[in-house]
Amino acid sequence: MAKTPAQRAKKHGAAPTVPSGPVVNASTRRSPAKAQGNANLILIAGAVASLFLFWYFHLLTLNQMTDLSGGLAMPDSMVFGFGATHVEALRAAMNADAMGQLQFVHKTAGTLFPLVFGLSAMTLIAINAAKKWLRRLLWVFPVLFAGIQLWANVAIDNMLSAKTLDAGSVTLASVLVVASWFLLVVTLVGMGVALYAGRRKKGGPVAAGPAPA
């Protein structure tokens, strides 16, 4: 005759109880130091990618494009803007292949640089700026930079490829280029402010020691 569970427990002792809830692996929990280390790795990768894309877009490719324009600078490189005279000379010097190459550069490195730099800047600010109002304020600049830089790429391509050069399109492209360079500098300053705020947060207030007897 089969024994009941109570009889088996009485004879052999109570069986160990198995917890009914899910088993939590404590080794998978991330410590604050590990989370900070992962964030630092992301920031390092973003900084390296941003520096490479800036070098490739502004310092390498756009400088090489001057070989196709008779030595005339590309509008993207003109920090203080440009006028209709420069654009007319550029349109006369560049053929269809050169125009297509510039448009390709705008669609590749010219698009990747502002996006990667903007996201990297926002990540750095989010990690270091603890105050919500400061974080949101500093986020404005990389977002504006990325948006205006992409808009400037389109405005330059439309200006150079238009059948008839319009003074309004020249002014728009020039203003966007100047604004993008200005916002790039302001974003870098904002990143410095965020880093300073982060260092102050980590340092914390120094507690006063006991008064000497």
Domains defined along the chain, listed by start: 48-201 (1.20.120)
Calculate helix-pair angle for 132-161, 96-107, nearest 10 degrees. Answer: 160
Provide the pLDDT for residue 213.
Answer: 44
Reference 179, options 50, 78, 73, 85; nearest CA is 78
Is the per-residue pLDDT at 1 higher than 70?
Answer: no
Is the per-residue pLDDT at 193 higher than 80?
Answer: yes
Return the SS3 of 34: helix
Would you give the DSSP letter of residue 55?
I
Which residues fall within 8 angstroms of residue 198, CB to CB, at 6 or more apart?
A: 127, 128, 129, 130
Q: What is the pLDDT of residues 53-102, one digit of tens each?
A: 999 999 999 999 999 999 999 999 999 999 999 999 999 999 999 999 99
180: confidence class by pLDDT, cuts 50, 70, 90: very high
pTM, entire model: 0.78
Do 138 and 194 meet the contact criterion of CB atoms below 8 Å apart? yes
Calculate helix-pair angle for 109-128, 32-54, nearest 10 degrees. Answer: 150
Q: What is the pLDDT of residues 116-131, one digit of tens each?
A: 999 999 999 999 998 9
Provide the pLDDT for residue 6.
Answer: 61
Provide the pLDDT for residue 39.
Answer: 76
